[in-house]
Amino acid sequence: MEPYIYTGITESDGIRLIELQPSGDKAAMVQFHLIHTTLKETQQEVIDHYVALSYVWGSLDDRVTISIDGKSAGELLGTGPSNFI
C-alpha cells in the first residue's frame, strides 16, 4: 500500500477532521477519510457531529495498522478505534 504523505495546514484557522470508515469486521484495517477544512467553514457542524479521539490510549503492545484515504498511515494503539466501528 502506498504511504500517506502529510500536507501542512495553510489557513490560520485550519483543522483536520477524520471520518472513521465503517466496517462490519472488527479485524479489518482501521480506515479513515481525512478532511482539510477551517473552523469558519465548519462552524456549528463540528460541534454537532464530531467526537474527539486522543491518539494515545490502551496498551503500547496492542497496535493496529491504519489507512487514510487508502494510503498506509502507520499504527494506532488498538483499543480505541474498534470501539467506534
Q: How confident is the model at residue 12 (pLDDT cuts 50, 70, 90)?
A: very high
Q: How confident is the model at residue 55 (pLDDT cuts 50, 70, 90)?
A: low
pTM over 0.85: no
Which run of H or of E encompasses 42? Answer: helix 39-42
The residues spanned by each domain of the chain are: 14-83
Give per-residue pLDDT as tens, 75-85: 765 555 455 44
Using alpha carbons, select from 84, 7, 14 the residue that is nearest to residue 53: 84
